[in-house]
Every structure is written in C-alpha cells, then in structure tokens.
Amino acid sequence: MGRAARRHEADQAKSGWMKFAALPGHQLKFRPAGGRRWELTAADGQLAAVVREGMEVRQLGFAEPELAVTACGREYRLQSVGLRIFPVKELVDDATGHLVLRLTGSHFDESTISRMHLRDGTTVEFSVTGHQVRNATLSAIDPSGQVLITCRVSPAQPLRRSWSSNSLKGIEVRVSPAGYSNPGVVLHAVVAAELLKEYVTSPGGG
C-alpha cells in the first residue's frame, strides 16, 4: 500500500473514531480497577461485569492470560484451548461447565478479524479499522451486517503508544439497539473490549 493510500485509510479511520460519540445505543465503559482487574460499567455507574486476569498459560511460547469474568450474578472463565499460534478461546460457565461462546481468529500483527461463535450457531465478526490508539475502532457485526457493538480507546488516553494494558485509561463501548436485544450482551461487550485492548497494547497489534 502506497503512502497516499495509507494516509487515506488513516483519515477514514480517524473519521470513524470521531463519530463514535454520536452513535445510538447504550454506553458502557471498560476501565482498569487496580491490579489485574477491569470493570465494565453502565453510563449511570452501575457495575455490569468484572474481569480478572489469572495465571498465564504458555501456548507454543505465547503468553495467554486466563480471564475470570463475573457478570449477571454468574462466574465465567475465558481460556485458550489447543496448541496453536493463535489458540481458540472458549468462554465457559464455571458453575455448569457449559460452553457459552468460542473465539477464533486474531487481533495481532495487523490481523484484525476475530469471530465469536455462539451456542445457537450465530457467528459475530469483530473487525478493527485504524492502527493507532487514537483512531482504532472495533465493531462487532452480525451475519446480516448489523453493527451490534462498537469500541474505541478513551479519548483521555495520552497520544504516545503504550505496550501495557495497565496504562490504558479505558475502553468506551457503545451497544446498538440491535445488540442490546441479545441475552448475552454483557459478555459480548466484555469480549469486544478485551479484543480492542489486546489489539492496541500488543506489539504488532495496532
């Protein structure tokens, strides 16, 4: 891609990033809460979910933190399965052991497509436009092309590039009316925010 094309792509990404505030839907924030804990809160400050990073599992030399998620009064665990460069990740209900969703794909080294496979057979695609903290926007898109969830890094984030999720100010999440009707919307919002966090803080990701 030439310099002019790259500049056009960056301008388009920045335009989409700037329009985030005008998107319709329910506003959530995903913010660090000390240590290895992040919280997803509603616009009124109500706590929707808590995410805690657990022991890292080595997959072919890659560090993959296991995430414990508390949402809607239940405990879940997001963990990597299988020995591969980009492992499949599964979100499992701790109490029942039932699979809630499966993640495939990657948001690393400018590969920006991941897919969330739900128990009912629906596949949701997560796509990122932009490659920087101040222009990257993640969208969760259903099979009909509807955008269910959109995320961006908080505008309060300093311009310098950070390789640590601990230095992020937070992720803004906007759930569209179509996305809000899904029964697992809180978990889907957590997954979307985690993917964008990983993308902008992993070397080669953003």
Whole-structure pTM over 0.75, yes or no?
A: yes
**Rounded distance between C-alpha atoms, residue 64 and residue 43, angstroms:** 31
Tokens describing residue 95: 């109490």
- CB neighbours of residue 196 within 10 Å: 27
Q: Is residue 71 part of a domain?
A: no
In a domain, 109, yes or no: yes
CA distance 70 to 68: 7
In a domain, 78, yes or no: no
Query: Looking at this protein, which amino acid is placed at residue 205?
Result: G
Report yes or no on 70 lying in a domain: no
Domain for residue 131, yes or no? yes
Tally of structural domains, the chain: 1
| Domain interval for residue 130 | 3-57+101-201
Tens-digit pLDDT profile for residues 16-45: 777 888 899 999 999 999 888 999 999 999
Q: Does 161 fall in a domain?
A: yes
**Is the pLDDT assigned to residue 143 strictly greater than 90?**
yes
Asked if residue 67 is part of any domain, the answer here is: no
Q: How far apart are CA 172 and CA 184, in angstroms?
A: 18
b/e string for 158-188 if b means 16 or more Cβ within 10 A?
A: eeeebeebeebbbbbbbbbeebeebebbbbb
Tens-digit pLDDT profile for residues 111-124 = 567 899 999 999 99
pLDDT digits (tens, 9 = 90+) for 58-108: 555 555 668 999 998 999 999 888 766 666 899 999 999 999 999 998 766
Cα–Cα distances in angstroms (integers) from residue 204 to residues 132, 162, 200, in the given order: 11, 12, 9
In a domain, 64, yes or no: no
